[in-house]
Amino acid sequence: MERVVRAPQRLRGELEPPGDKSISHRAVLFNGAARGSALVRNFLAGADCLATVACMQAMGAQVEFLTAPQAEEEVPVTLRVTGAGDRGLHEPADVLNAENSGTTMRLISGLLAAQPFLSILTGDASLRSRPMDRIIRPLRLMGAQIWGRRGDALAPLAIRGGNLHGITYDLPVASAQVKSAVLLAALFADGASTVVEPAPSRDHSERMLRAMGADIASHERAIVVRPTGRPLEAVDVAVPGDISSAAFWMVAGVAHPDAEITLTNVGLNPTRAGILAVLQRMGASIRIERERTEGGEPVADLVVRSSALRGTVIQGAEIPLLIDELPIVAVAACAAQGDTIIRDAAELRVKETDRIAATVQELSRLGARMEELPDGMVIHGGAPLTGAACDSRGDHRLAMSLAIAGLLARGETTVRAAEAVSVSYPGFWRDLDRVAEGTEA
Ligand code: S3P
């Protein structure tokens, strides 16, 4: 599917971004393995999280949709998840398919590492090209049998879980997916485990597992898990809006010359909110209103307005705090005065696409002046964008970043493979039509 985007005269309105993808995955996965039953409100019924639902159902978790997910309409979805905690998960009768979702594959592998049965995990072509040795290594060290294609680097994966031992593991990359896989396996080990991160990554797993009765202590970069011998207890989860989805409107709002957009119910967990600090440093006008805590996660409303942006440097420990937002930050950087430099972000090369190459090549089609670095990119701001045909390459975040670039460009921008948005934001195109008022002549 192709979508055509033109620059609107104004951007106005109020939007609630869809439920957080990371938290939606965890709410189904952890409750699905827990004892008891829980309600998950504002669940993101995007393709990635639905893959997690299907995998957990195949192993005996019960997931009931109390409101049905509807393509593009995105009514808030409530689920009832009844965990397999008492009797345990069972061997799936078929291959588990994580589709496009790295979170599904990596987190479920951590859970399966402790299950005494065989499971095979696969995914789409993109996921089958993404590194899985990063989870295979620690899970094997803990005692699981686990194999992958290409010398145990790629999916499909075969896992036969085992009696696990506790480990101390230094994560080679700041990855919440790898951290979470090890933490999940560690819950079932015969002793305590410690995971050390090179820099803090999103901590939704730690927060939710603690709420379910797990013994998890965080000391700066070290996380210590002590198995309790009891199953996790199911907990209700009210999923906050996804800051990674809100980010597209934050950038549209600050970079468009006539904009004011209110974003409601945005999750502002400090391990996810790097985009806010970066845009503010670039001169963005973002007002934070109604700060509150919901389900153990900080939440607020954001009012974003047209702003004069300037370039910045993004590197080091700030990178994991906005790893998924870097393609849309590159769009903001195009609208800024001066250069923006993104470094220490080589992880972008192993996301749904190589997001360094894809962002630079696709935004360059619209006239952006930017270059690749091995671990990031340099964007020379201020070059006017001009509409052109560009391609999401099947990557949801690239599709949405290109659409926002189209809102800022002169003329007509065509985004190819525009349906990719359904992975994390099924209502994205509807929301774009809602806030864009009057298109240019
Ligand atoms: C996620 C962690 C990040 C992020 C992904 C979701 C998670 O991946 O890019 O979209 O829910 O844990 P890495 O852990 O591989 O950096």
Structural domain spans, the chain: 2-18+240-437, 21-225
Q: Report CA(314)–ligand 1 centroid distance (Å).
A: 18
- Ligand 1 nearest atom to the CA of residue 179, by list position: 14
Residue segments in the chain with a per-residue pLDDT below the cut of 70: 70-74, 440-441
Name the fold adopted by 2-18+240-437.
UDP-n-acetylglucosamine1-carboxyvinyl-transferase; Chain (3.65.10)
Residue 367 CA, ligand 1 centroid: distance in Å: 30
3-state class (DSSP) for residue 433: helix
Any ligand 1 atom below 6 A from CB of 347: yes
Provide the CA 61 distance to its chain's centre, in angstroms. 23
Asked whether the CA dihedral 169, 175, 176, 178 is positive or negative, the reply is: negative
CA–CA dist 152, 145 (Å, integer):
11
- Closest CA to ligand 1's atom 9: 324
- Looking at ligand 1, which atom is closest to the CA of residue 324? 9
Span 67-126, pLDDT tens digits: 877 665 667 899 999 999 877 899 999 999 999 999 999 999 999 999 999 999 999 999
- pLDDT tens column, 334-387: 999 999 999 999 999 999 999 999 999 999 999 999 999 999 999 999 999 999
Q: Which atom of ligand 1 is nearest to the CA of 26?
A: 11
Q: CA 29, CA 56: separation in Å to the nearest integer?
A: 7
Spatial distance between the Cα atoms of 417 and 46, rounded to a whole number of angstroms: 16
- For the Cβ of 22 lying below 6 angstroms from any atom of ligand 1, the answer is yes
> Are 40 and 79 contacting, i.e. CB atoms less than 8 angstroms apart?
yes
Residue 437, Cα to own-chain centre: how many angstroms? 29
Catalytic residue among 324, 391, 395, 431: 324
Q: How confident is the model at residue 71, as a pLDDT?
A: 60
Q: And the tokens for 393?
A: 């390459």
Q: Is the pTM of this model over 0.75?
A: yes
Percent helix / strand / coil, the chain, rounded to 5: 35, 30, 35
Superfamily of domain 21-225: Enolpyruvate transferase domain (3.65.10.10)
| pLDDT for the residue 294 | 85
pLDDT of residue 441: 45
What pLDDT shows up at residue 72?
57
Active-site residue flag, 152 = no
Mean pLDDT across the chain: 96
- Ligand 1, atom 11, lies closest to the CA of 22
pLDDT at residue 76, rounded to an integer: 81
Q: Is 323 in the pocket of ligand 1 (CB under 6 A)?
A: yes
Q: Which atom of ligand 1 is nearest to the CA of 173?
A: 16
User: What is the whole-number distance in angstroms between the Cα of residue 170 and the centre of ligand 1?
Assistant: 18
Strands 118-122 and 96-97: parallel
- Ligand 1 pocket check for 103: Cβ under 6 Å: yes
